[in-house]
Structure 1
Amino acid sequence: MHCRGWRSIYCMPKRAAFKGSAPINLSDRLNQVLRWALGSVEIFFSRHSPLLYGYKGGNLKWLERFAYVNTTVYPFTSLPLLAYCTLPAICLLTGKFIMPEISTMASLFFISLFLSIFATGILELRWSGVSIEEWWRNEQFWVIGGVSAHLFAVIQGLLKVLAGIDTNFTVTSKASDDEEFGELYAFKWTTLLIPPTTILIINIVGVVAGVSDAINNGYQSWGPLFGKLFFAFWVIVHLYPFLKGLMGKQNRTPTIVVIWSILLASIFSLLWVRIDPFVLKTKGPDVRQCGLNC
């Protein structure tokens, strides 16, 4: 429509123009996001792709084209996101750090890049009127959906384009205003839950393995370990709502208690094995002298 001369304006009335219903549990929500992302991937590979369409005789401006490209390529960010969520656990398990040694100028460049990203997020919050809590929930679901629904959308889109394999369209169950939220914590297992579950498990295992390795190697290993733990905990914190959904209803034991119980129990067990208090430690020369005397 923009290529054919139509113009659009940003309209945000005080009163909502319409009201819809959303999926009520995590599985249906991920299936819905999968359909949206799959549609974006199909548009990206179609003849109406904003990368290629409308150059001859089109009235599409560069900023409009950039916005349309952004709406079609966002599922592909699941590939680097999957790598970034997996690397912290690999670093903890292998003993290597995620960041190589860089110069001072390169570190200043990375710091300025991160600060610009944070500044952009703050400006978006101020402009849209979104609270910090809502923004954080959106960030958490972006990671959960990125490593599951967006990843599957890229795979299914490539299969459809390259091999002609089409996927079935499933309708997700919605909740109306007068319904009870009985299915809010209903757990429906789908293949979309496999990648985030795997990432969560390997990061928790990596934290335990990293701490146990530092205990065995002494205090010299604790300095590099903190950087590795920061990235691993950052992934775990983003996937915490997903873990909470796996645990079930809220009237059970809080998930954070279960997580810390597992981590602390593993650390204390490894520390206990390291100390080994029931074995009598004797010095080598005394034992040899005793043997000679005997």
Structure 2
Amino acid sequence: MPNISQFQHQKLYEDMKNRIETAHELGRISEDIRSGHKEFSQWDSYISRRDHDTFLEILIDRTTRKAVDAEGNALPTLVYMAREKRPQYFHNFKAGAMNALIRVSSAISNGRIILNVDCDMYSNNSESIRDALCFFMDEERGDEIAYVQFPQSFENVTKNDVYSSSLRVISDVEFHGLDGQGGVLYIGSGCFHRRDTLCGKKISREMRTGWSENSGIDQNGGIYQQEELKKIASCSYEENTEWGREMGLKYGCPVEDVITGLSIQYRGLRSVYFNPKRNAFLGVAPTTLLQSLVQHKRWSEGDFQILLSQYSPVWHGLGKIGPGLTMGYLPYCLWAPNCLPTLYYTIIPSLCLLKGISLFPEVTSPWFIPFGYVIFCKYAYSLAEYLWSGGTVLGWWNDQRIWLYKRTSSYLFAVIDTVVKLLGFSETAFVITSKVAEEGVARRYEKEIMEFGATSPMFTILTTLALLNLVCFLGAAVKGFVSGGAGFLGSMLLQAMLCAVLILINVPIYHGILRKDEGKMPISTTVASIVVAVSTCTIFVSF
């Protein structure tokens, strides 16, 4: 790190923030900034963050001058780039930015290994580079490895992981299983790539020679012209090329990282998953429920689109990847449609309990044994798996809650949006998950108090389901009390237990309705949910 104090870092950040906000308000770059940065001096105007020229500045250039850190070690070339954006050109979100960076870096350094991290993540383990290179340079099978994926870890996860942001079981159990079947998913951050394989090169012993011949990039040994760099970062550069299809990250999918990694594996390459004791990279997890739900909506929608696309592991992957890896991808591709059975089990058994319709065998019946066995084994295994991964019992309970919330809201909207897109009524959208938390939000997050505070159709669905189960349970309890408890102790026991568990899971929602702070459930959402829940129960009982 350069020898700059924390105070100086903060001042530099505040100055940069003020310059950006001023430019956005004025709609142009001020004269003092234009004079201080030669790149800005060439800008005629700044319209918006979606309409501007390329900004590219080489902050540290090792070919012209030496820069060192506080210990006297040489610093590498450092380049800041903002690619050109114009309203008439679709910029392809993160995938488009990554592809522009790949092209520009190829002309400047053409390093054979690329590290990709999200903007809210930082390196926490300097040995991660060496670890990745050990896999790439393996004498026996190193040439087959396209990328080395590290887990996505977060520094702000609470003790009991209130929003289940760490995806503990996925990182510590499932990804290791995928690694044994030929390769883990590319998850878009904390990943080291071979440059040539990321840009379309197939498995070959010639993989060590560097850039693919048909890359479309003219490498000149680090000798480059500023205008040439701007050209390959322009909006029009990718027209009539293979970028976004056969080269670089794939376009047209909300999870461009997963589909890119899958297409690389289709070419006969494999990936490696490495999870060191010390986290290689750390980032910031969502601090509100809505942030988490929006993030999972995008993930599940993208994975579901992959299942229905030409890159589907079910049919396109036949003969290209092993059956074990195909089965490993399917649980993620089926996240979204999993909302349908989950919605059934959160609605129908409770309504039938209220009306007195039995859906499950009585406890005394031999047919109850399969139900009891599946329920016990499923949750016992889930708890053991979570605890083995280093979690807590309360963390496991939060994990069950968030999975229910995601399946009944995020995944439902993911299915709806996917169907609408397939019918041609909308285009793929990329929603960035905000990680910025206000002081009050951060304080409640640290106390593991679930944050609502915003109006969202996802909250309306969750609140409606929570109130529906509460109304059904109370109504059935009254009926059971009047009839001497026969319903609850007989054929309705399993339904009553299911409804009771759903009520316990939804305790934070009931708490959110009654709270008085800024993170409470919005009154409009509460009123709408009460009307829908009570009306549904009344109509169902009446027929």
What band does the TM-score fall into relative to the shorter chain? 0.7 to 0.9
Secondary structure of 1:154's counterpart equals: helix
More strand as a share of residues:
2
Alignment of 1:230 onto 2:491: no
* Structure 1 segment 190-201 matched on structure 2, within 5 A: 190-201=456-467
1:41 corresponds, among 283, 304, 313, to: 304
- State the 1:174 CA deviation: 0.9
Q: Matched residues, percent identical?
A: 28
Aligned residues: 249
Match of 1:8 in 2: 271
- State the 1:30 CA deviation: 1.3
Normalised TM-score (structure 1): 0.74
Secondary structure of 1:97's counterpart equals: coil
Distance 1:130 1:244, change over 3 A: same
- State the 1:99 CA deviation: 0.7
Secondary structure of 2:347's counterpart equals: helix
Match of 1:288 in 2: none
Which deviations, in whole Å up to 9, do the C-alpha atoms of 1:38-92 show, x marking residues without a partner?
A: 1111111111011111324x2x111111011111112211110001011232122
**Do 1:89 and 1:203's aligned partners in 2 also have CA atoms closer than 8 Å?**
yes
Secondary structure of 1:182's counterpart equals: helix
Distance 1:119 1:134, change over 3 A: same
- Higher RCO structure, 1 or 2 (CA under 8 Å, sep 6+): 1
- State the 1:125 CA deviation: 2.7
Q: Mean alpha-carbon deviation: is it higher for 244-253 or for 66-75?
A: 244-253
1:74 corresponds, among 335, 338, 350, to: 335
Q: How far apart, in 2, do the equivalents of 1:8 and 1:167 lie?
A: 27
Which deviations, in whole Å up to 9, do the C-alpha atoms of 1:94-121 show, x marking residues without a partner?
A: 1112314699654333333334323432
Alignment of 1:180 onto 2:439: yes
Residue type of the alignment partner of 1:213:
K
Residue type of the alignment partner of 1:193:
F
Distance 1:89 1:24, change over 3 A: same
Distance 1:65 1:211, change over 3 A: same
Q: How far apart, in 2, do the equivalents of 1:105 and 1:247 lie?
A: 43
Match of 2:313 in 1: 50
2:409 corresponds, among 142, 145, 148, to: 148
Please, which runs of 5 or more residues in structure 1 have no aligned partner? 254-294
Which deviations, in whole Å up to 9, do the C-alpha atoms of 1:235-271 show, x marking residues without a partner?
A: 1112223333444467999xxxxxxxxxxxxxxxxxx
* Structure 1 segment 219-258 matched on structure 2, within 5 A: 219-224=485-490, 226-248=493-515
Alignment of 1:161 onto 2:428: no
Distance 1:226 1:114, change over 3 A: closer
Residue type of the alignment partner of 1:163:
G
Alignment of 1:30 onto 2:289: no
Normalised TM-score (structure 2): 0.42
**Do 1:88 and 1:228's aligned partners in 2 also have CA atoms closer than 8 Å?**
yes
Q: How far apart, in 1, do the equivalents of 2:486 and 2:498 lie?
A: 20
- State the 1:221 CA deviation: 4.2
Q: How far apart, in 2, do the equivalents of 1:203 and 1:216 lie?
A: 20
- State the 1:227 CA deviation: 3.9
Secondary structure of 2:270's counterpart equals: coil
Which deviations, in whole Å up to 9, do the C-alpha atoms of 1:207-248 show, x marking residues without a partner?
A: 221122223334544523544331111111122233334444
Residue type of the alignment partner of 1:35:
R
Which deviations, in whole Å up to 9, do the C-alpha atoms of 1:125-173 show, x marking residues without a partner?
A: 3542222221111111100111011111011111111334236443332
Distance 1:247 1:15, change over 3 A: farther
Secondary structure of 1:48's counterpart equals: coil
Distance 1:27 1:115, change over 3 A: closer
Match of 1:129 in 2: 390
Match of 2:472 in 1: 206
Match of 2:371 in 1: 110
**Do 1:214 and 1:221's aligned partners in 2 also have CA atoms closer than 8 Å?**
yes
Residue type of the alignment partner of 1:128:
S
